Amino acid sequence: MADLSVSGALKKMHTRLDSEGKAHYELELGDTRVPLSDLLNHDITLTASGDIYCVLCDRKTKKSFSQGHCYPCFTRSASCDICMVSPEKCHYEQGTCREPEWAQTFCFNDHVVYLANSSDPKVGITRASQIPTRWIDQGASWALPVYRVSTRQLAGLIESHLKPHISDKTRWQAMLKGVPEAIDLSQLANELTALAAPYVDSLTAQYGADAVSLISQEGDAEPVKIISYPVAEYPSKVKSLNLDKQPIVSGRLTGIKGQYLMFGDQVFNVRKFSGYQVQLDISE
C-alpha cells in the first residue's frame, strides 16, 4: 500500500473471518476503510486532535464514557444500562427499560451462549448474528457455540449459572502475548451442559420448549471454530497506550488481535477510544 493519510472519528474495527479461519481487520475513518491486516510491519501513526464525539448522538464531549458515549447518552441509553453487562438483570418486564423499542430489536432475538479460549477457557454470550465477530473482538483462538436461546436475558441467566464452574472473563494481557494452551472445548461443553441440565430444564418449563436449545443436538451444529490473527510478532510485555495521556501513537505495526493494535510491546485498544478524532498516517 502507498503512503496514506486519512482522518475521522475512531470506531471499533470491522472484522471478518475468511474460509481458512484467518481474521481480517479494517479501520474506518470518515468515508475510508483502511485494510489494517495488510499493513503488518508498516509504520503507523495515530494523532488525536483532542476532539471527542459521542458515538450515538455525535455531540462533542470533553470526556468519553463507556467506549465513546457522552455523559447524557451514558446515563439514558439502553446500550449503556447495567443489563448490557449483566443480561440476567434485564428489567424490561418491570417497565423500566430505558429504550423499549431498541430492546425489542437488540435483546429479543436469538442469542448464543458459547465457550471460547482467548487466554483461558471462558463462557460468553452474543447475538447469533454477531458470530464470529464477537469471538474475533475478544481475541479467541478457539470458540464453540453451545446453547441457542430466544432472548438476551436467557443467555445471561445460563451464563450466570455457569460462572461458578468457568470464568466469564478474558485476561486481555495474556491474550495479547500469544496463542493460549489448547483445550478440548467439545469435552468441556459436554461437562458443563451436563451440570447445567436441571437448570436449563427449569428455564424451558418457564419460558417454553423453544426458548433454549442445545446446539450440539441441532442439525446445523458447528465444530469448534479455530481463528488465527494477523500477528508478525507477539509482545513479551504489554504496555497499554492511552490517547488521553499520549495523543500520538506511533510505531511499526507488529500485530492485530481482539480490538488491539500491537506496536512491539506497546498495544492500543481501538474500541476504548471510540469517538476520538484522529489522523492516521501510514508509510512503508
Q: What is the chain's pLDDT, residue by residue, as a tens digit (284 residues)?
A: 557 899 999 999 999 999 999 999 999 998 899 999 999 999 999 999 999 999 999 999 999 999 999 999 999 999 999 999 999 999 999 999 999 999 999 999 999 999 999 999 999 999 999 999 999 999 999 999 999 999 999 999 999 999 999 999 999 999 999 999 999 999 999 999 999 999 999 999 999 999 999 998 776 667 899 999 999 999 999 999 999 999 999 999 999 999 999 999 999 999 999 999 999 999 87
Collect all residues with Cβ–Cβ distance below 8 Å to 223 and sequence separation of at least 6: 144, 186
- Other CB atoms within 10 Å distance of the CB of residue 172: 20
> What is d(CA 215, CA 217) in angstroms, rounded to the nearest whole number?
5
Say if CB 155 and CB 215 are below 8 A apart.
no
- Virtual torsion, Cα 130, 122, 186, 206, nearest 10 deg: -70
pLDDT of residue 210: 94
Q: Quick one: DSSP state of residue 180?
A: P
Look at residue 220 in the predicted model and tell me its pLDDT. Answer: 65
Angle between helix 152-162 and 185-207 (nearest 10)? 130
Which pLDDT score, from 0 to 100, does residue 13 have?
97
Which SS3 state, helix, strand or coil, does residue 27 take? strand
At residue 18, the pLDDT reads 97
User: pTM here?
Assistant: 0.94
Provide the pLDDT for residue 81: 95
232 vs 261: CA distance, rounded Å: 12
Contact 18, 24 (CB under 8 A): yes
Find cell 483445550 and name the residue. 183
Do 214 and 129 form a contact (C-beta atoms < 8 A)?
no
User: How far apart, in whole angstroms, are the C-alpha atoms of residue 171 and residue 52?
Assistant: 28
Residue 273, pLDDT score? 97
Backbone dihedral region of 243: left (phi > 0), alpha (psi from -120 to 50 degrees) or beta?
A: alpha
